[in-house]
């Protein structure tokens, strides 16, 4: 079943609100640049799991687009990388960037593999 445009918008909005609040909660618990790495890895893991799960399009909108989209934070990743370049140098910033991307990709793959394995 495909969600109507109004329902799709509402699902993304509700998921996004929950994701944003969850992102803030992680930021309170994990301070500094590590919080960006943590939320991006956790959000990528969750998105991998959602992508591999046999769920409908409405759940995918709520969880994948809404929650995971708002929970992860590419803009904070970009700001942190630029800030690291100006504070500690380009080499340190490149390490931050590569670490963040590698963790997110590995977490997505792990999440999708775990769900695919348990479903299949």
Closest CA to 83 of 74, 73, 93, 75: 93
82-87: long-range contacts, CB 8 A cutoff, minimum separation 24: 84/33
DSSP 32: T
96 Cα distance to chain centroid: 17
72 appears as a binding residue in the annotation:
yes
58 appears as a binding residue in the annotation:
no
Instruction: Enumerate the known binding-site residues.
Output: 69, 72
Instruction: Enumerate the known binding-site residues for Na(+).
Output: 69, 72
């Amino acid at each position: 079943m495909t969600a109507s445009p109004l329902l799709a918008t509402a699902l993304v909005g509700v998921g996004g609100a929950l994701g944003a609040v969850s992102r803030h909660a992680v930021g309170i618990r994990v301070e500094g640049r590590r919080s960006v790495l943590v939320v991006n890895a956790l959000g990528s893991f969750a998105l991998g799991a959602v992508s591999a799960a046999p769920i409908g399009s409405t759940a995918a909108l709520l969880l994948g687009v809404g929650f995971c989209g708002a929970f992860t934070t590419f803009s904070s990743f970009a700001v942190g990388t630029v800030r690291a370049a100006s504070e500690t140098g380009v080499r340190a910033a490149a390490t931050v960037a590569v670490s963040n991307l590698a963790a997110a990709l590995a977490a997505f793959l792990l999440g999708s593999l775990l769900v695919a394995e348990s479903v299949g």
